[in-house]
Amino acid sequence: MAETRVVPEVDRAAAARKAVERRRARASLKRDLTTRVVAPQTVLRRAIADQDSVEGSMRITDFLLALPAIGAGKRDRVLEDLHISPVKRLGGLGARQRAVLEEWLDGRFPVLRPRGARSRLLVLAGPTAVGKGTVAAHIREHNPEIHLSVSATTRAPRPGEIDGVHYYFVDDAEFDRLIEQNELLEYAVVHNRSRYGTPRAPIDAALDAGKTVLLEIDLQGARQVRAAEPAATLIFLLPPSWDELVQRLVGRGTEEAEERARRLRTAKVELAAQNEFDHLIVNENVADAAAEVVELSSSSAR
C-alpha cells in the first residue's frame, strides 16, 4: 500500500497563519506605496536586498499599480516600454531591468536631495496625528538649547496646558490685531476650526542670539515660512506605515464615520506634500525621531 504523507495539524495551522500574515503585509505595503509613506525606490532596494522579503515577492504589476496615479493602462505601457515581463516579481528582476525601472522611478518620483546650505530656522510638519507635537515636546524637555516657538491660538486650553508655555491663548480680536500689526510670521486655520500663528519677534530674537529655532506647525504654515524665509529647513515627519497612521487617527473610535473618513482624506493629501520638504524623518519612536531633528539642528548651526 502506498504510504500517504500526512502533514501534521500544527504545521498546517502554522502555514495557514503565515500565509495570512504574508497577505496582510503585502496589502499594508501596497497602502504605504499608494499613500507615499514609503518611496518606491526604497521598496525596490529592499526587494533586491532580500528576494524572500514581502517586497521581493511582490509582483511588478502590483507594485506599479500601487504607485500614486498609476492605473492599469499606464502600468501596462510602462512595462512594455521598459521591456519587463508582467509575471516578474520585484526580487526577480535582472540587473538591466532594475536599472531601467530605477531610472523611470527617479524621473516620476523624485527623491529628496538634502540641501547643503542650512539655516537655523527649522520647521517640523507632517500629516495629522503623526506625532509632531509629541516629538516637539520631547525636544522641549531634553534640548533646552533649541528655542521652541510658542504659537498663538484661538482655541481653548486643554487641561494641563499653560498659557505662554504650550500656546499663547488669545481671543479672535487679539488674533486679528496680531495679523494687522504684522506680528505673525505665518498663520492658518487648522482643522477648519481655530486659528494658529507663529509670533515673529521671539523667533527673530532667538536667531539673533545665535540659537536654533524650531517651529512645530501645520502644512499651510510650513509653506508660508518657506515663502517668507526661503532658507528655512523644512522637515516632514512620516508615520512608520499608513496602517499605523490610521490607527493613530481613528484608533480611539470616538469620532463619527464621516469625521474619520474626512481625517483619512486629509492625511492622504498631507502626505502628498512631502516632496516640498528638505528632510523626511520616520516617527518610528519619539526619542529617535527627536534625536534626528536635533541632529539636523546641530549640523545646521555649523
| Chain contacts with ligand 5GP (rule: CB under 6 A) | 132-133, 151, 155, 186, 188, 190, 196-198, 216-218, 220-221
Of 65 and 282, which CB lies nearer to ligand 5GP in the complex structure? 282
The answer on whether 68 is annotated among ligand-binding residues is no
Whole-number Cα distances in Å, 213 to 41, 148, 232, 277: 32, 6, 10, 17
Q: Looking up cell 504659537, which residue turns up?
A: 151
Neighbour tally for 302: CB within 10 Å:
6
CB of 154 to ligand 5GP, least distance (A): 10
Strand partners, 213: 121, 147
Measure the CA–CA gap between 49 and 71, rounded to whole angstroms: 27
The answer on whether 129 is annotated among ligand-binding residues is yes
The answer on whether 130 is annotated among ligand-binding residues is yes
The answer on whether 133 is annotated among ligand-binding residues is yes
Of 216 and 278, which CB lies nearer to ligand 5GP in the complex structure? 216
CB of 170 to ligand 5GP, least distance (A): 12
CB of 153 to ligand 5GP, least distance (A): 6
CB of 60 to ligand 5GP, least distance (A): 37
Phi and psi angles of residue 200, each rounded to the nearest 5 degrees, phi first: -75, -40
CB-CB contact of 68 with 272 (8 Å): yes
The answer on whether 107 is annotated among ligand-binding residues is no
Question: Whose CB is nearest to ligand 5GP?
Answer: 221
CB-CB contact of 156 with 169 (8 Å): yes
CB of 189 to ligand 5GP, least distance (A): 9
H or E stretch at 199: strand 194-199
State the helix-helix crossing angle for 286-301 and 132-142, rounded to 10 degrees: 60
The answer on whether 197 is annotated among ligand-binding residues is no
Measure the CA–CA gap between 243 and 29, rounded to whole angstroms: 9
CB of 109 to ligand 5GP, least distance (A): 26
Of 79 and 137, which CB lies nearer to ligand 5GP in the complex structure? 137
Of 40 and 221, which CB lies nearer to ligand 5GP in the complex structure? 221
Of 92 and 202, which CB lies nearer to ligand 5GP in the complex structure? 202
Of 38 and 225, which CB lies nearer to ligand 5GP in the complex structure? 225
Which residue from 279, 298, 281, 302 is spatially nearest to 290, judged by alpha carbons? 281
Annotated binding site for ATP: 126-133
